[in-house]
Amino acid sequence: MAYVLQQLLSRSAKKYPGKEAVWARGRSLTYRELEQRSNQLAHLLREQGVGKGDRVGLFFPKCVESIVSMLGVLKAGGVYVPLDPQAPADRVCYIIGNCGIRVLITNQEKRQALSPETLELLDCCISTDQPENGNSGRMIPWSDLAEFPADRAPNGTSIETDIAYILYTSGSTGRPKGVMLSHQNALTFVEWCAEEFQVRSGDKLSNHAPLHFDLSVFDVYNALEAGATVYLITEELALFPTSLAAFIQEKQITIWYSVPSALMLLLLHARLTPEKLASLRTILFAGEVFPMKYLRQLAEMAPQADLYNLYGPTETNVCTYYKVERERLASMDKLPIGIACANTDAFAVTDDGRIARVGESGELCVRGPAVTYGYWADVEKTRKMVVPNHFQENFEEKMYRTGDLVTVNEDGNFYFQGRRDSMIKSRGYRIELGEIESALLSHPGVKEAAVLAIPDEVVGNRIRAVISLNVADSLKPLDLQQHCSTKVPKYMIPEFIDFHGELPKTSTGKIDRVKLKEETMAVR
Amino acid sequence: MIQTTEAKDQIRQYVLDEFAKTKGINQITDQEILTKNGIMDSMGIFRLVAFLEDTFKIRVGDEEITHDNLESVDAIERLVIAKSKK
């Protein structure tokens, strides 16, 4: 049994040295090459002072070096932090400061986006492309890897309870929060997937999700576990449905995993035929609700494939799953999120603290080795979400409160009902409306801001903001959208902005979001 | 017959107003890769295509919605000119 993630690679490198491990942008690395490069990078990182538990940021668009970097950091004993290459510099700089990144793997273009204060925090940058001569600050070219030993990793003492990576997600108080995931957290999930989906060395896995998104954990580590090949789909390719469909066919992808909206884009615009998807044996989706209408279309387009709805927040990775029963598809009106994965316990807790009975609604809680320790450097937030399991009276045990309301139906499956708070999903991205409100309120001209999620069949939700200004007519929607663009990722910028004299209040003086939403929906 | 410079201006203005400005980008060159840095997202691509069809009275097939055809203002203009000659 592997107990740290890098063992998955080392084992497959022994078994399948000449096999293609990763492909991206027309380049690929064999298992031997991936093992050797990541060994070399680990030595280089050690030389730069990276040791046990040190955070190393990865800030560049997806390419084969992304995978080398993830493994190299782990082999050095460090913790990797994938940073969204499309996020505004302000957010990336915040994360670098928040988790104390001192070594950053990046490229020249991305490095230039960082503030001087942030560059000041860094001991060094490793560049995936050659640095120009005369560049200020320390830039180590990727070609320096060649000077380090390839045949073995530095001596390490990592154990399964060490943190392997930190994934930042939207935070309700205006700043992203870092979910810490240990080797054990990740391996619990990877081992379940290996068994459930029977991933084999002949498989070709797609990687559609960005690497700072937890869906990518399956694509990368289950490929490594099985000695299979992972094909990284770049942001540019993901935008063009017909090209993406051609890619699946050309590369003969066998296992696909993405958010439903990516699959819907294919269904709506890729001129799909069953031949184009004929290589797919397994299609996994997670991150948002898949509308039944489109799921039925997908089932018809890929009659040979097993379809799975996976569910789980970053804090647990996938914790429940539902294998689509094709014979029930026609009559089903809502897709279940299913039952708990192996080695994971999931249960719904009612408002009065009982386990929900069949048909009753409750908050889904999760315990087991897949559950995060919590949020980096945020004890308060961690205490709120990773709480003592009060059903265990005789010793202390933790469980994670997902904030998702579910019911258990007679078929034994969990069904998602809604959220307890103001977190929403749009195109599978997890978004705290409070983070957008904070961004809007940080503009000096804004007096009040309420951000609403408007349900949309294809993308899940669209974002609309209602604003009251300090001085009427002093700002236009575009001014505020531009302001937001410096604070939050592009998918969080409100698509629509309405101005309002004074926002309606509830009896307790809070902004009445329910009323605002009703008004907004009525107008449309 | 579509005037080249006029078409290009219209395309550039539309991309700026609809996609770039809301994301804090006030200037784009005609060679700039629009799919980089998230100027254009998946829904945006289809809004752009609808705009091209309406404005230039052309029909863009799903199979023509590719990176090569839509990657920059220059590329979009080439597509529009090629389509309108047919």
> What residues does each domain of chain B span?
4-85
User: Domain B4-85, CATH 1.10.1200.10 — does that match?
Assistant: yes
3-class secondary structure, B72: coil
- What confidence score (pLDDT) does residue A246 get? 96
3-class secondary structure, A203: coil
Per-residue pLDDT band at A427 (split at 50, 70, 90): confident
Cβ neighbours of residue A327 closer than 8 Å, sequence gap 6 or more: none
Cβ neighbours of residue A428 closer than 8 Å, sequence gap 6 or more: A209, A213, A215, A258, A259, A260, A261, A262, A286, A287, A288, A460
Distance between B36 CA and the closest CA of chain A, angstroms: 7
Instruction: State the average pLDDT for chain A.
Output: 94
For residue A86, the chain B residues in CB contact (below 8 A) are: 37-38
Pairing of strands A177-182, A204-207: unpaired
- Output phi, psi for A205, to 5 deg: -100, 140
Q: Order the strands of the A496-499 sheet from edge to edge.
A: A446-456, A460-469, A496-499
Place of tokens 């809007």: A440
Pairing of strands A306-311, A282-285: parallel
Q: Which residue of A has its CA nearest to B20?
A: A482
Among A160, A230, A220, A228, CA closest to A188: A160
Q: Would you call A86 and B38 a contact, using CB atoms and an 8 Å cutoff? A: yes
Tokens encoding A451: 């951000």
Summarize the confidence of residues A120-132 as an average pLDDT. Answer: 88
- What confidence score (pLDDT) does residue A514 get? 83
- What confidence score (pLDDT) does residue A81 get? 98
pLDDT-above-90 percentage for chain A? 84
Touching check for B9 and chain A: CB below 8 Å? Answer: no
- Output phi, psi for A385, to 5 deg: -100, -35
pLDDT for B1-31, tens place per residue? 566 678 999 999 999 998 888 888 888 899 9
Point out the residue among B37, B41, B67 whose CB comes nearest to the CB of A243. Answer: B67
pLDDT for A253-270, tens place per residue? 999 999 998 999 999 989
Mutation target to probe the A interface, by most A beta carbons within 10 A, among B63, B72, B76 is B63
Report the alpha-carbon distance of residue A87 to residue A97 in Å, rounded: 15
CB–CB contacts below 8 A, A to B = 65
N-terminal to C-terminal alpha carbon distance within chain A: 56
pLDDT for A205-248, tens place per residue? 999 999 999 999 999 999 999 999 999 999 889 999 999 999 99
ipTM of this complex prediction, to 2 decimal places? 0.87
Per-residue pLDDT band at A134 (split at 50, 70, 90): very low
Cα within 13 Å of Cα(A230), Cβ side: 30
For chain A, list the domains and their CATH numbers.
6-16+27-184 (3.40.50.980), 423-523 (3.30.300.30)
Tokens encoding A90: 């302000």
pLDDT for A433-451, tens place per residue? 989 999 999 999 999 999 9
The residue type at A306: D
Q: Would you call A86 and B65 a contact, using CB atoms and an 8 Å cutoff? A: no
For residue A486, the chain B residues in CB contact (below 8 A) are: 24
Cα dihedral A481, A485, A488, A489 sign: positive
pLDDT for A323-335, tens place per residue? 999 999 999 989 9
